[in-house]
Chain A
């Protein structure tokens, strides 16, 4: 059984309708738990904490995780990235509970982290993967999605908006700078117009990028890295305030 399939099979074995289903669930749990242990050891520095987090994530996924294939990652590589997000979230949760990090700024920003793979990879290879993913996303996927608008919107405007969103993410520009450049001044209505324009672009990307990726049939790890990149660089930053 592959990891992606095991993820969809996770559920409490004791609640299974028959013995056979209970056995399948137990096997699925072993596969997912094994993967979680490897990911947690890589992401979390303290080995004891890594084991605690791997156990906690496994328990949470068994009780509260999704159970249908279509709502879960389709490939093993994407399943690994999914588990990686789960481990990071539980680590953030641990920090918050223990208050080791008093300042929110101490919690690391979400990274692209293409090194979610269960097998050891060379850092140089990981960097090359990220560069390759960036090129694919911004120089192939975005222009092609922009050009295939079926008359909707302006392709150049779409590409410009994606560039703006990306530059905003990296802190290389600000909303004020964009507005001054386009309108000559920064106003509340201009800010909202820009936000709405970016919202429309994000909506379209979210709908069309997965379709583009499915058609492109990229190698699994590259495909997952492009998705992670879009997920992080093109969405507004995760709000880390702990109210």
Chain B
């Protein structure tokens, strides 16, 4: 997908490309056409077409295959579920939120008539990015966006200059970065709006416009792009880049270093997850090394890079750590939903090793972030969200069939470090009850 900001604009905002998260494509209302199309979602892989149509076609094909093979209804149901959940797990970024809104709009259109409904009703936009930063957005019509926030959170919205949204070539009125910075600065003072102490805020925004949602101290949180009824939201991870490469070098654990190096470069979020892995999953390679390390710990010493990673976490501002936690909570909620789907999809003989391993890795990423936050005295909200995830995860692991295994190096380390981790390797005992 085309990014919401170019490099010059990011630099002017004090950001780099790694600080940008995935883009969410949403719909804030019907399309401009009189007969609204349900969705034209485009996944990151560049596929186009309605996700609903695609799923219908997929399921029709499956049913046709099942009929041809003369399988029973039970088997058909299982295969159907399998297809559905594979799609959910593998293509989780497939703009389901957008579909959800589109479905709601369709229901409304069937009722009172679309035009009236669009004017009279508020359609909430399901956005994980906005959820993570504590905002909810709703459409109140063609050019009005309603934003609602928890009363403890305050926001600024800065408008960015419009670029040509219809073609790939971006419209750049500036040749020099200084000119852009001056332009943005002027925009900030003239157009920035402050949301404080109000339950919701109705913004009249041009149908085609771009905005930066920021904290009151101007720390950017998300990018918002409006193009008619289409809304694109991109998360910003506004903490500085961790010294991941250095920490990998400092780690004497070559197997772990190799594991985490495979994930880099991957953007700020992945770097954070990697920091969590490096801090938690180092293991002594021999009995002698274990004895030496324990002696160091008992003497009050530390093992690198864990100590450096925790120091880096403490160097971040409270706002940055709060946002880190919020983004992690959004991921945790998504993971809980996927675990519930996975649970419904399990069968006696299906080999679900790959999707199960992916879910375990995602859970472990969140565990790493939780431990980093806990070292700074935080993480309570994330911990509470993870309790729901773990309830579901434990239940799935308690019933996992023998054909589904997760035995890679990372999960082996998890099982050895935390005997109650449902997401650890299936090759070891786990204490679930």
B346 x A14 contact (CB < 8 A): no
A93 x B290 contact (CB < 8 A): no
Number of interface residues of B (CB under 8 A): 65
Asked whether A85 and B347 contact (CB < 8 A) given A30-B298, A62-B297, A189-B72, the answer is no
Give Cα A93 to B5, complex, Å.
49
Asked if A206 lies at the interface with its beta carbon under 8 angstroms from chain B, I say yes
B402 x A56 contact (CB < 8 A): no
**Smallest Cβ-Cβ distance to A200: which chain B residue:** B399
Asked whether A67 and B374 contact (CB < 8 A) given A59-B284, A210-B433, the answer is yes
Q: Closest CB of chain B to A206's CB: distance in Å?
A: 5
Give Cα A86 to B415, complex, Å.
8
Q: Closest CB of chain B to A209's CB: distance in Å?
A: 6
Q: Closest CB of chain B to A96's CB: distance in Å?
A: 8
**Smallest Cβ-Cβ distance to B414: which chain A residue:** A64
**Smallest Cβ-Cβ distance to B347: which chain A residue:** A192
A209 x B433 contact (CB < 8 A): yes
Which residues in window 69-87 of A have CB below 8 A to B?
70-72, 81-82, 85-86
B306 x A12 contact (CB < 8 A): yes
**Smallest Cβ-Cβ distance to A199: which chain B residue:** B399
Asked if B401 lies at the interface with its beta carbon under 8 angstroms from chain A, I say yes
Q: Closest CB of chain B to A48's CB: distance in Å?
A: 8
Q: Closest CB of chain B to A12's CB: distance in Å?
A: 5
Asked if B217 lies at the interface with its beta carbon under 8 angstroms from chain A, I say no
Q: Closest CB of chain A to B348's CB: distance in Å?
A: 4
Asked if A163 lies at the interface with its beta carbon under 8 angstroms from chain B, I say no
B300 x A64 contact (CB < 8 A): no
Which residues in window 261-275 of B have CB below 8 A to A?
none
Q: Closest CB of chain A to B70's CB: distance in Å?
A: 13
**Smallest Cβ-Cβ distance to B314: which chain A residue:** A17
Asked if A240 lies at the interface with its beta carbon under 8 angstroms from chain B, I say yes
Asked whether A13 and B346 contact (CB < 8 A) given A189-B72, A206-B433, A236-B400, the answer is no
Asked if B83 lies at the interface with its beta carbon under 8 angstroms from chain A, I say no
Measured between beta carbons, the chain A residues less than 8 angstroms from B139 are none
**Smallest Cβ-Cβ distance to A195: which chain B residue:** B348
B418 x A192 contact (CB < 8 A): no
A15 x B428 contact (CB < 8 A): no
Q: Closest CB of chain B to A13's CB: distance in Å?
A: 5
Asked if B279 lies at the interface with its beta carbon under 8 angstroms from chain A, I say yes
Measured between beta carbons, the chain B residues less than 8 angstroms from A110 are 429
Measured between beta carbons, the chain A residues less than 8 angstroms from B402 are 236-237, 239
Give Cα A195 to B399, complex, Å.
9
Asked if B316 lies at the interface with its beta carbon under 8 angstroms from chain A, I say no
B298 x A59 contact (CB < 8 A): no
Asked whether A63 and B287 contact (CB < 8 A) given A92-B428, A230-B433, A235-B398, the answer is no
Chain A binding site: helix, strand, loop or mixed by DSSP? helix
Give Cα A120 to B45, complex, Å.
62
Measured between beta carbons, the chain B residues less than 8 angstroms from A71 are 383, 390, 420
Asked whether A63 and B405 contact (CB < 8 A) given A13-B302, A88-B429, A89-B428, the answer is no
Q: Which of B78, B374, B432 contacts A206 (CB 8 A)?
A: B432
Which residues in window 165-197 of A have CB below 8 A to B?
175, 188-189, 191-196
Measured between beta carbons, the chain A residues less than 8 angstroms from B416 are 57, 60, 86, 89-90, 93
Asked if A33 lies at the interface with its beta carbon under 8 angstroms from chain B, I say yes
A227 x B433 contact (CB < 8 A): yes
Asked if A202 lies at the interface with its beta carbon under 8 angstroms from chain B, I say yes
**Smallest Cβ-Cβ distance to B383: which chain A residue:** A68
Q: Map CB proximity to B onto A205-243 as digits: 1 under 8 Å, 0 otherwise.
A: 011011000000000000000011011001111111111
Give Cα A64 to B370, complex, Å.
11
Give Cα A234 to B284, complex, Å.
34
B394 x A206 contact (CB < 8 A): yes
Measured between beta carbons, the chain B residues less than 8 angstroms from A67 are 371, 374
Q: Which of A12, A17, A30, A64 contacts B417 (CB 8 A)?
A: A64
Which residues in window 100-120 of A have CB below 8 A to B?
110
B420 x A26 contact (CB < 8 A): no
Asked if B426 lies at the interface with its beta carbon under 8 angstroms from chain A, I say yes
B433 x A64 contact (CB < 8 A): no
Asked if A35 lies at the interface with its beta carbon under 8 angstroms from chain B, I say no
**Smallest Cβ-Cβ distance to A92: which chain B residue:** B428
Measured between beta carbons, the chain B residues less than 8 angstroms from A210 are 433
Measured between beta carbons, the chain A residues less than 8 angstroms from B74 are 189, 192-193
B420 x A93 contact (CB < 8 A): no
Asked if A29 lies at the interface with its beta carbon under 8 angstroms from chain B, I say yes
New A-B contacts (11) at CB < 8 Å, excluding given A199-B343, A206-B394, A242-B427: A13-B302, A14-B300, A52-B287, A63-B279, A63-B281, A63-B303, A82-B420, A85-B431, A193-B74, A209-B433, A241-B405
**Ranked 9 nearest A-B pairs via Cβ:** A14-B302, A64-B417, A52-B287, A195-B348, A189-B74, A64-B280, A56-B290, A55-B290, A15-B310
Residues on B lying within 8 angstroms of A by beta carbon are 72, 74-75, 78, 279-284, 287, 290-291, 293-294, 297-298, 300-303, 306-307, 310-311, 314, 343, 346-349, 371, 374-375, 377, 383, 387, 390-391, 394-395, 398-402, 405, 407, 412-420, 426-433
24 interchain pairs (CB within 8 A)?
A: A14-B302, A15-B311, A26-B298, A26-B300, A55-B293, A64-B281, A65-B418, A66-B420, A67-B374, A68-B383, A85-B430, A88-B429, A89-B429, A92-B428, A92-B429, A192-B347, A194-B348, A199-B343, A202-B395, A238-B426, A239-B407, A241-B427, A243-B405, A243-B407
